[in-house]
Amino acid sequence: MTTERILEGLARREPAALARAITLVENQRDGFEQVLSHAHGLLGRSGTRRVGITGPPGAGKSTLTEALIQRFRAQRLSVGVVAVDPTSPFTGGALLGDRIRMESVSLDPGVFIRSMATRGAQGGLATTTEEVADLLEAFGFERVLIETVGVGQTELDIARSAETTVLVLVPESGDGIQALKAGVMEIADIYVVNKSDRPGADKFRQEGGGGRSKAVNRADGDWETPVLSTVASTGEGADELAAALDRHYAYLQAGGRLADRRRQRLAARTRAVLERSVRRWLLEGTRVEELLALRLDEVADGRRSPYDVAAEILDQVKAGGGATR
């Protein structure tokens, strides 16, 4: 399907066109930037709220995501989901392979679910995921959920692309919290202790992952990060989580915080897109690989360092000697 046909399909709100647009963006095929530029002009029109849901594997994020979708649909809100698993490819299925079966929402025309893996994010997983979220917002979904697996830098970047970040933990997380504190613990807007029907849940919740049941989110000044209890498999606590999401969004709206976050996000996006374009130009529009091959033996036998060779290649590119004629 041509880019023009995809844009026409998006204008008619055809799910098939949306799916093709996402594939175009994931694989950065010809025309993907045209589609994204079109989508950018539509952002902010449908009152979309973006929610990032992250946490360690096995915390029940997917089940909690399903419970949230059900709450949103009960409010007649359309929902788009981007599910990211940077550790394993997908073989198909509604969401995250065998880790979840979303029978309750997968056939709902008001719900669109797309899974992503690193194999389809050639220009940086976080940037590509945010671009897919843009497509969902431009399509008109009122809630966009971005679910990630793990707590690495990629997940932090993806979570930052949302207005509200939910960190999902389980009572067994225990000492593992210490490893999270320097990263996602500090940017989470809401903590959720899922599977809270398990032993030790109350104690873990009271500790709040660090000695408090509430903590001040440094990124948002005086926002007190609530620590909620859920049992996602039964839906228990999902209403409280949905209410907390509303409270945080209202908090962001007050004092212009929402607009500030959006500006920061767009600035970061522009830098990421520029970096991606420069990387592509270096690899495709210059003789970098050829120049590297000429010096590789010298690097391998220790006569020159990678830094010396990189500096030489960059100097040649700057001077025009590395450009493809």
pLDDT (0 to 100) of residue 208: 55
Secondary element (H or E) of residue 82: strand 79-85
Positive or negative, the CA dihedral 114, 119, 124, 125 is positive
**pLDDT, greater one: 172 or 170:** 170
- Decide: pTM greater than 0.85: no
d(CA 292, CA 297): 9
pLDDT (0 to 100) of residue 173: 66
Q: List pLDDT tens digits, range 238-272.
A: 999 999 999 999 999 987 888 888 888 889 889 98
d(CA 169, CA 53): 11
Residue 308 confidence class, pLDDT cut points 50, 70, 90 = very high
pLDDT (0 to 100) of residue 246: 95
Residue 322 confidence class, pLDDT cut points 50, 70, 90 = low
Q: List pLDDT tens digits, range 180-210.
A: 555 556 778 998 988 888 777 777 766 654 4
For residue 223, pLDDT over 90 is answered with: no
CB-CB neighbours of 253 under 10 Å = 12
Phi/psi for 277 (5° steps) reads -65, -40
What DSSP line would sit under 132-197, residue for residue?
Answer: HHHHHHHHT-SEEEEEE-B-SHHHHHHHHTSSEEEEEE-GGGTTHHHHHTTTHHHH-SEEEE-STT
Q: List pLDDT tens digits, range 95-119.
A: 444 334 455 676 788 999 988 875 5
d(CA 226, CA 279): 41
* Token pair of 43 as six digits: 């952002």
For residue 175, pLDDT over 60 is answered with: no
pLDDT (0 to 100) of residue 118: 58
* Token pair of 307 as six digits: 């830094």
